[in-house]
Chains A and B, each alone.
Chain A
Amino acid sequence: MTRDLRRDALDGIRDILPPAIAAIPIGLLCGALGAAKGLSPAEMALMCALVFAGGAQFAAIDLWSYPVPVATLVVSTLLINSRHILMSLSLARRSGHFTWAQRLLGYAVMADENWAMAERRAAGRELTPAYFLAMGGFFWLNWLVWGTLGAVVGAAIGDPARIGADFAFTALFIGLVVGFWRGHRSTFTIAASLVTAALVYCFAGPPWHVAAGALAGIAAAWLAAEPEEVPA
């Protein structure tokens, strides 16, 4: 029994190791950009530990200013992480045998990468709490360590624009958006969001461009979709 637990936990850590390594420079960058916006290492550690969502953290740091626009940051975070609803909805079918404590803890650290690994594991055999929790815990700790270290080191680097690091999250987001590409309908979404957000940014200023662009992109997807799709 104990041996099974340990084997499953090690399997989880082994499966998440490549994404965890890829997250090292991303975490360092996230922390460094946060430090450039005035966040202390303690604040960055808190954000990495409690929010634990790369895309939303990069977006929040980009929108960060003083006084802190709390409502804008929360709404932006909610919109970016709304994809988690679909992800947890899908994975919930695989964790019916978990206790509620295991579910509430395991899903607290569900990110794109460990979600994908858990779905893959569940396709071949039973998803165990040991596998899911060890994987999630390891990935969470990895992000916390490198994000915090980035804030410590980043403060010493100085102005990120000097080395083009201010463009790093733009390039990162372009990479992520291309990853979400699902054919010509994505073009409508991205074009609508891009143009609307840029116009609103120029004429109304931040932070309104985020909600306006996001809603325009979502509306474009709604309009471009087939209204009568056969239920799966």
Chain B
Amino acid sequence: MSVDPTVLAAILGMAAVTYLTRISGLFLAGRLRLQGRMKAAFDAAPPAVLTAVIAPMVLATGWPETAAAMIAALAATRLPLLATILVGVVAVVALRAIG
């Protein structure tokens, strides 16, 4: 049961900022009105971040990964999350075997 001090610092930092986002609405309620471009920017944050994290795997790793990402995106439009993951993983294993 080992916990590295730097790992602990990272986890505590992640936990602190996450808690702040969770309770911030309690203090902002009635004070902040999100609308127009500000709201659009706010709404875009989660997909923009998630996309940026996987961009290297999707575009800069190899053609099997790029093709599997396209297959997974197509699957995601009609399948639940778990099925999408399964389709993506099976696709990448198959395409890597060919490539």
Contacts and interface: CB of A to CB of B under 8 A. Distances in A.
Contact of B24 (A51, A85, A95, A227): A85
Contacts, number: 310
B10 A70 contact: yes
A222 B90 contact: no
A206 interface: yes
Interface size class of A (residues with CB under 8 A): 35 or more
Given A42-B3, A70-B13, A174-B69, A193 B40 contact: no
A59 B49 CA distance: 9
Contact of B87 (A67, A83, A171): A171
Contacts of B56: 197-198, 201, 206, 209
B89 A229 contact: no
Contact of B18 (A53, A212, A226): A53
A164 B92 contact: yes
A78 B26 CA distance: 17
A47 B40 contact: no
B25 A198 contact: no
Nearest to B92: A167
14 contacts: A40-B1, A43-B8, A50-B12, A56-B18, A88-B25, A91-B25, A169-B54, A171-B68, A172-B84, A173-B53, A175-B85, A198-B59, A201-B60, A213-B49
